[in-house]
Amino acid sequence: MKLLFKQRFFSWLDSYDVYDESGKTMFTVEGKLSWGHCLQILDAAGNHVGTVKEEVLTFLPRFRMYVGENYIGQLQKEFTFFRPSFHLDCNGWQVTGNWLEWEYDITSETGGRVAQISKQLLNWTDTYIIDISDGMNPLLPLMVVLAIDAAKCSSGQ
């Protein structure tokens, strides 16, 4: 399954639309006013399904993730020199990017590919293609992309 993740052009707070391969809206993401990024994920019907919330006052970016109101884990950027890397503590996933930070791979504990994330260039707003392995729930890979994009925004990239 592929998802197109696109930031809205005119918005005061972070807001995104997420489409499936046929162009149908799967999720919308609305930024909320808070200390650090707070991104609420809504399904196509407008129901709240998840939240990604940045923890502030940390050395490296860290994001807490919630499905509904239930905390499921956090994504934290790891200290690296050439390739960005993130650790997701809820299921052992590892997120590794290329040195330009345009491509990311999400791998499981066993090394299998969970999803591949590609930033699309030459767009007015941040746009990503998320290629999710068959049978995988798209919510958690979407949360990972939101956290990565927010981390890049916080660091001025």
What is residue 141's three-state secondary structure? helix
Q: What is the pTM of this model?
A: 0.85
Residue 147, beta-bridge partner list = none
Domains of the chain: 2-154 (2.40.160.200)
Q: What is the pLDDT of residues 2-47, one digit of tens each?
A: 999 888 775 556 788 999 999 999 999 998 877 778 999 999 999 9
Rounded to whole angstroms, the Cα distance separating 10 from 83 reads: 31
The answer on pLDDT for 82 being more than 90 is: no
Q: Residue 65: its pLDDT value, please?
A: 95
